[in-house]
Structure 1
């Protein structure tokens, strides 16, 4: 499959309380399995006080019989919206 979207549910409240992400979520990102390519993603525009946030990560290529590893990046202090 190409340009496949994978749904990830992030516990936004927990990450904010642990000071791992900013409340506006602009300091997050996702890398591919080898950590070299930043993956595109989009998220539903949720209110800041929700517990979970749904994020769809766009994976360029994925095989049906393949386990896909991605990396969740956070706390990029230089990030802007």
Structure 2
């Protein structure tokens, strides 16, 4: 881990004027695209994070809501 680089970046951000910091935050956080439904489905399929749901009963049916639109 490059701790020195991280510390330098933190100092640089802290030295920005409020307007500059706001622009920086916009560029950093708001311009990140959200994952698509397909990307989320791939993540779900490759991850074990939701394996616990396999033991849960199916509470909903296809008629309960809107379907996911695959891109």
Of Structure 1 and Structure 2, the greater strand share is in 1
Q: Which has the higher contact order (CA 8 A, sep 6+)?
A: 1
TM-score range, shorter chain: under 0.3
* Greater Cα radius of gyration, structure 1 or 2: 2
> When the two structures are superposed, what TM-score results if normalisation uses the length of structure 1?
0.22
